[in-house]
Amino acid sequence: MTKIAVIGGGMIGLACSYYLKKRHNEVVIIDKGIPGAACSAGNAGWICPTLSEPVPAPGLVSKSLKWMTKRDSPLYIKPTAIPSISNWLFQFWKNCNEESFNKGFDAALEISKNTLKLFDELESEKLIQFEIHHKGLLFAFLDKKGMEERFEELSIVNKVGLPLPIVKSKQDLQLMEPQLSENVEAGLFLPSERHVRPESLSGGFYQWLKENGVEFRTNTEVTDIIHRNGRIEAVVCGNERIEADQFLFTSGVWANQLMKKIGYHFPMTAGKGYSITITSPNITLSHPLYLGDSKTGVTPYNNTIRIAGTMELSGLNENIDERRVQGLRNSVSKYLKTPIKGEKEVVWTGMRPMTPDGLPILGPIPEINNSFIAAGHAMNGVSMSLATGLIMSQLISEGRTDIEIGPFSLNRFLSKPVLTT
C-alpha cells in the first residue's frame, strides 16, 4: 500500500485525500491548524463551473487603480502592502488582457466541466454527509448594461456544454425573489449551479476520512522538508519526522513558503475575503444571489444567510478590517428591500491563495519525482475541489489524468528551478 502525505487540510486537501483513500492508499493529512477551518470555512460555497474565470481580466488595471485606496471597493489594495507584493502585482496586471483572460477561462473550464457530475456522484453515493442545494444562481444588476456585459463574458461556457445564462427582466426577478429592491433592473439566471454549506462539506469529508483510517495530524506545522536524489524522504514537524512514499502539497496560500524549502519560488499572495453569517434571518431567499455591480454574494442555507465577497490584497494576515465588513453590508442594502438581520452574526475572513494569472497550480513538482502540488484556486476552491481531487488522485496513482494540465504546471512560473541538496 502506498503511503501519501497530504500537507494541508483545506477543501482541496480533503477532496484529494478522499479520492486517494478510495483508491486504497494509506493517507496522512498534516495541517498547521484544524482541517477545513481556514479559507474553506466561511466562503459562499458556490458550486459554479460557469464562474471559473480567472481573476485578472481586461479592464481590471484601470478599475483597480481607481479602487485601490477605497476600503469599500470590490478590490482593495492596501498601500503599505504594495512593496511586498509588487512583483506579484506586476505579473497580475500583465495578465489583465483579453488574450490571457480567454486562455485562462478555457483552461479553468477544462477542470470545471465535470464539476456538477462529480457533485452528483458525491451526493448520490451518500458516503459524505453535507448540506447541498440545487437552486441555480441568480445575478442581479442595477443597470441593464452590466447584465449585457456579463452575459457576453459568460457565453464562453457553452463551449464545454454548460447552459448559457438566462436573461431575466425586472418583473421576472421580482417573481423569483420578492425581496429584491426596485433598484434592480435586470438579471441572469444560471439554472444548473448548486451551493453547499462549506463547513458541512469539509466536516463530512473529515468524518468519512477518519472512519476510513486516514490519519490526521492537526495543529502540526511542517518546518522543513528532507529531500535527496530527486525525492522527498520526509517532512519535518518540529522534532518529528514524517515519512511517506508520495507527498502532495495542498497548503493554499502557504504553499509558496513550503516550496522554498526545496528550492522553488513562485508568485503567490493572499486575496483576503470576508463574510457575515446570519442565523435565523428576518428574510427568506430562494436562490443564492450574485450582486453583479458590487461583486458580492448572498447565499441562503438552512436557517442561515451568508453575505460574502471582496478581494483585499494586504499581505498574509488574518486582521479583520471593519470598514470592509461594513462595505459588504452597504452593498447588499442597495439590492434588497429589507436589511438582513438575525439572532446572531459571525464575521469571518479567509485568505484565498492567488496566483498572478488566476489559475491554480496542479501537477508534479519538477525534478522531485515523488511530489505533487495542488494550490492557488483563488475563489474556486470549493467549486473545483472534487475535480482537483480526482485529477491529483489519477496523477499520483497512475501517472496520468484525462484533463490537460499543461496550463496549470508549476513550470509556468519557473525560468530555471534552483534545487538545494
Cα dihedral across residues 102, 375, 200, 320: positive or negative: negative
Predicted pLDDT of residue 70: 66
Percentage of the residues of the chain whose pLDDT score is greater than 90: 83
Region 306-312 average pLDDT: 93
Q: What does the alpha-carbon distance between residue 371 and residue 21 come to, in Å, rounded to a whole number?
A: 17
Residue 122 scores a pLDDT above 80: yes
Q: What does the alpha-carbon distance between residue 195 and residue 288 come to, in Å, rounded to a whole number?
A: 8
Residue 417 scores a pLDDT above 50: no
Predicted pLDDT of residue 38: 78
Q: pTM (2 decimals)?
A: 0.95
Domains and CATH numbers, the chain: 3-41+200-265+359-413 (3.50.50.60), 47-194+269-354 (3.30.9.10)
Query: Binning pLDDT at 50, 70 and 90, where does residue 418 land?
Result: very low
Percentage of the residues of the chain whose pLDDT score is greater than 70: 96
Q: What does the alpha-carbon distance between residue 154 and residue 352 come to, in Å, rounded to a whole number?
A: 23
Predicted pLDDT of residue 20: 98
Q: What does the alpha-carbon distance between residue 17 and residue 388 come to, in Å, rounded to a whole number?
A: 11
Cell numbers 488582457 label which residue? 97
Cell numbers 488522485 label which residue? 393
Region 378-385 average pLDDT: 96
Residue 53 scores a pLDDT above 70: yes
Question: In this structure, what C-alpha cell is assigned to residue 190?
Answer: 444560471
Residue 421 scores a pLDDT above 70: no
Q: What does the alpha-carbon distance between residue 7 and residue 13 come to, in Å, rounded to a whole number?
A: 7
Predicted pLDDT of residue 59: 83
Predicted confidence (pLDDT) per residue in 222-232, tens digit: 999 999 999 99
Give the chain's mean pLDDT.
93
Predicted pLDDT of residue 373: 98
Query: Binning pLDDT at 50, 70 and 90, where does residue 12 land?
Result: very high
3-state secondary structure the chain: CCEEEEECCCHHHHHHHHHHHHCCCEEEEECCCCCCCCCCCCCCCEECHHHCCCCCCCCHHHHHHHHCCCCCCCEEECHHHHHHHHHHHHHHHHCCCHHHHHHHHHHHHHHHCCHHHHHHHHHHHCCCCCCEECCCEEEEECCHHHHHHHHHHHHHHHHHCCCCCEEECHHHHHHHCCCECCCCCEEEEECCCEEECHHHHHHHHHHHHHHCCCEEECCCCCCEEEEECCEEEEEEECCEEEECCEEEECCHHHHHHHHHHHCCCCCCEEEEEEEEEEECCCCCCCCCEEECCCCEEEEEECCEEEEEEEEEECCCCCCCCHHHHHHHHHHHHCCECCCCCCCEEEEEEEEEEECCCCCCEEEECCCCCCEEEEECCHHHCCCCHHHHHHHHHHHHHHCCCCCCCHHHCHHHHCCCCCCCC
Predicted confidence (pLDDT) per residue in 314-336, tens digit: 888 889 999 889 989 999 999 99
**C-beta separation of 259 from 266 below 8 A:** yes
CA 206 to chain centre: 18
Q: What does the alpha-carbon distance between residue 292 and residue 188 come to, in Å, rounded to a whole number?
A: 10
Strands 231-237, 186-190: pairing kind: unpaired
Query: Binning pLDDT at 50, 70 and 90, where does residue 124 land?
Result: very high
Residue type, 86: S
Predicted pLDDT of residue 416: 46
Predicted confidence (pLDDT) per residue in 337-365, tens digit: 999 999 999 999 999 999 999 999 999 99
Predicted confidence (pLDDT) per residue in 234-283, tens digit: 999 999 999 999 999 999 999 999 999 999 999 999 999 999 999 999 99
Residue 192 scores a pLDDT above 80: yes
Predicted pLDDT of residue 385: 97
Question: In this structure, what C-alpha cell is assigned to residue 350?
Answer: 479567509
Predicted confidence (pLDDT) per residue in 293-304, tens digit: 888 999 999 999
Q: What does the alpha-carbon distance between residue 378 and residue 357 come to, in Å, rounded to a whole number?
A: 10
Residue 420 scores a pLDDT above 60: no
Q: What does the alpha-carbon distance between residue 75 and residue 66 come to, in Å, rounded to a whole number?
A: 10
Region 401-419 average pLDDT: 82
Name the residue with higher pLDDT: 76 or 107: 107
Cell numbers 450574485 label which residue? 290
